[in-house]
Amino acid sequence: MLKKLIGRRDFMKSTLAGFGGLFFLPQIDMKQEIRVVDAKGKERKFIYRTLGKTGIKLPAINMGVMLTDNPNLVRVALDSGVVMLDTAQVYQRGQNEGMIGEVLKGRPRDSYVIATKARLPNNQTTGLYTEEATEEAFLKKVDDSLKNLGLEYVDIYYHHNVWKRESALYEPILKALEKIKKAGKARFVGITTHMNEPEVIQAAIDSKLYDVVLTSYNFQQKHYAEVRDAIARAAQAGIGIVGMKAIRGGSGQTPIVKNTAAALKWVLQDPSMHTIITGFTTFEHINIDLAVMENPTLTDDEKRDLQKEVSVSGLYCQGCRQCLEQCPEHLPIPDLMRAYMYTYGYHNLTHAQDLVLSLNLPKRVCEDCGQCPVKCSVGFNVSPKIRDVVRIREVPSEFIG
């Protein structure tokens, strides 16, 4: 028991309490290349990253086509430098694939990358497949998609919308994906997840089958640190990582972002993120994306915008670490704020307790200063939050677990 606890604490310290929990990541060498692209007659320099072991080189932003039935928007995106189009059979009941097929007619097959996806009947409450979910049914889906698209193969075929490990590893679909790849109907296979992403991503790693993961990931996500750690492990395993919901958010999130470019750049600051798909519906938005494709580095103003937006709920420490110098007791305030977030944001008391215990805090915490001199950059009243969350040390871990 003790051994297990120490291991888990060490893990927490090395991941969540360390790199993963930072809101802004330090700039490091991203292993990316710059390509000069003819974007509608204008020479532009776009950042390209490699999609893991697939070896596919993609610009930092590509197009999720689900929101538009406007073929000219897709044409302009492709002509401007977007390379990958992401669709699904379920979007507009196959008509989205049909529209893309029309746009692609006459374009060299190696000039674009196409990704589509399918899922089978499952129990919406448990996320587990029902008996109608057969290998044959999944194989039929890919044929339908190829027919809609008018293509002989797609580049990535995704197992769509999975939020349970058991479903990610569902044998009939894994067998179907292997057959699809072997038959040359898809160059690579992947999995998409909008909820419970870390569990699904870990299952994708364990399967040793999936080449690509398409996951929700954005700055407003309460559990972005866990998603970040999961995609880091997946990228380390050679899996290509595609981000989505960078702007609109996903399940349970407010679908409004004030600074679109900043939201995209926040995702792209992660070295494990290979590209993002965005579901734009206007030509104006394409121009925002093109600018980010040229320079995905967050400016100071953009960082401030994101901090303002994310701190509204009063739970998410930005990890600026300015408080560390202000606290006379040198308390690890960002870590304590994260423990507070685990407790009240995620309701994950195990994570919270592990983190608090790993910090080797003094017995009396935040009880002896007359007035707290810490001025949090996003306005947290840190002292009461700290006093509140450290109480978790006293709760028996068996009770929490």
Partner 1 sequence: MKTVCLVLGIIIFLWGPGAEANDFKFPEITEWKQSGEIQTFIPKTLYEYINGAADLYLMYDFQELEVAEYLNEKKASVIVDVYRHKTPTHAFGIYSQERLPNANFLDIGTQGYIEQSILIFLTGPYYVKLNSFNTGAEDEEILLAFAKKVAENLGEKGRLPSILSSFPQEGKKMNSEKFINKNFLGYSFLHSAFTADYELSGTKFKLFVIESDRKDCKDMIQKYLQQTKSLEKNIAEGRYTISDPYHGEIELHWQGKYIWGILNLNEVSLRSKYLKLFEVGLEKKK
Candidates 63-71, 140-148, 344-352, 380-388: pick the segment binding partner 1 (CB under 8 A).
63-71
Nearer to partner 1 by Cβ, of 140 and 391: the residue is 140
Nearest approach in angstroms of CB 335 to partner 1 is: 30
Both tokens assigned to 386: 């700290």
What are the residues whose beta carbons fall under 8 Å from the beta carbon of 217, sequence distance 6 or more? 197, 224, 227, 228, 231, 243, 244, 245, 246, 267, 270, 273
Nearer to partner 1 by Cβ, of 40 and 364: the residue is 40
What are the residues whose beta carbons fall under 8 Å from the beta carbon of 200, sequence distance 6 or more? 162, 163, 164, 165, 168, 191, 193, 213, 215
Q: Which of 243, 250, 296, 332 binds partner 1 (CB under 8 A)?
A: 250
Q: Which of 25, 67, 378, 400 binds partner 1 (CB under 8 A)?
A: 67
> Is 69 a binder of partner 1 (CB under 8 A)?
yes
> Is 110 a binder of partner 1 (CB under 8 A)?
no
Both tokens assigned to 197: 């992403």
Fill in the per-residue mask, 33 to 62: x = in contact with partner 1 (CB under 8 A), - = not in contact: ------------------------------
Asked if residues 43 and 255 have their Cβ atoms less than 8 Å apart, the reply is no
DSSP for 154-166 reads EEEEEE----SHH
Candidates 174-182, 201-209, 268-276, 277-285: pick the segment binding partner 1 (CB under 8 A).
277-285
Q: Directed axis angle between helix 382-389 and helix 333-344, to 10°?
A: 70
Which residues within the stretch 307-366 sit at the binding site for partner 1 (CB under 8 A)? none
> Is 130 a binder of partner 1 (CB under 8 A)?
yes
Candidates 120-128, 205-213, 220-228, 354-362: pick the segment binding partner 1 (CB under 8 A).
120-128
| Cα dist from 154 to 139, 140, 269, 273, whole Å | 14, 14, 29, 22
> Is 126 a binder of partner 1 (CB under 8 A)?
no
User: Phi and psi at residue 300, in whole multiples of 5°?
Assistant: -60, -40
Which residues pair with residue 48 across a beta bridge?
33, 59
> Is 150 a binder of partner 1 (CB under 8 A)?
no
Site residues, partner 1 (CB under 8 A): 64, 66-70, 72-73, 75-76, 88, 90-95, 121, 124-125, 130, 132, 160-161, 192, 194-195, 244, 248, 250-255, 279, 281-284
